Chains A and B, each alone.
Chain A
Amino acid sequence: QKEVEQDPGPLSVPEGAIVSLNCTYSNSAFQYFMWYRQYSRKGPELLMYTYSSGNKEDGRFTAQVDKSSKYISLFIRDSQPSDSATYLCAMSGAAGNKLTFGGGTRVLVKP
């Protein structure tokens, strides 16, 4: 079983809808939680990061971490066609010196 599980999708939504993404993990040592966006044939780019449990909001993006359930989420409000990409969750331990990724969820926002 993988340390980090993520539904591969694809997740197709109409423009303006809320996109809801999530990951579950098994390693209780994970302390830092990140979401990356990856466009086709490009490198991942950091969207959001959070430490431990709680919520964090940045513009249209909200990241949530529930360490008791080992579950993290990313919500994208007012989705745009430009949000069509693969979204990867990633986690690391306290040292932050290496990342463990989920498999990625492909999102398609239709105009």
Chain B
Amino acid sequence: NAGVTQTPKFQVLKTGQSMTLQCAQDMNHEYMSWYRQDPGMGLRLIHYSVGAGITDQGEVPNGYNVSRSTTEDFPLRLLSAAPSQTSVYFCASSSRTGIHKGNYGYTFGSGTRLTVV
């Protein structure tokens, strides 16, 4: 009963480096999304997916790339890291079927703390 698993938990990058934040869920949820959390800003949506092969941009997509080849996995790629991408990143998932049955809460992972120097 893992829920949403994010790796790594911590990461330090140099400006210009690239990396992939991993997210996996074992609940067969159709909906998955990535958020970043900055002090005083709440959580802002980066990218989201409504199913395998389908992704869309959120509020702050620039500098990030996603793909969804399976229902379980939704990796987030930083193409060329910048100090402005220093943040805590959360992955979340939800069931489309559950939403229509009245259960529309998202399950969040424990986050990845990223520092870009």
Contacts and interface: CB of A to CB of B under 8 A. Distances in A.
Given A44-B108, A46-B107, A98 B45 contact: yes
A97 interface: yes
B40 A98 contact: no
Given A43-B110, A44-B90, A46-B107, A101 B31 contact: no
Interface of A: 4, 6, 8, 32, 34, 36, 41-46, 49, 51, 88, 90, 92, 95-104
Given A96-B99, A98-B58, A46 B42 contact: no
B110 A6 contact: no
B contact residues, range: 20 to 34
Contact of B41 (A43, A99, A103): A103
A32 B108 contact: no
B104 A8 contact: no
Contacts of B48: 97-98
Given A34-B105, A46-B105, A49-B104, A101 B110 contact: no
Specify which of A32, A90, A98, A104 lies most central, judged by the most chain B CB atoms within 10 Å of its CB. Answer: A98
Contacts of B102: 51
Interface string B5-21: 00000000000000000
Contacts of B35: 99, 101
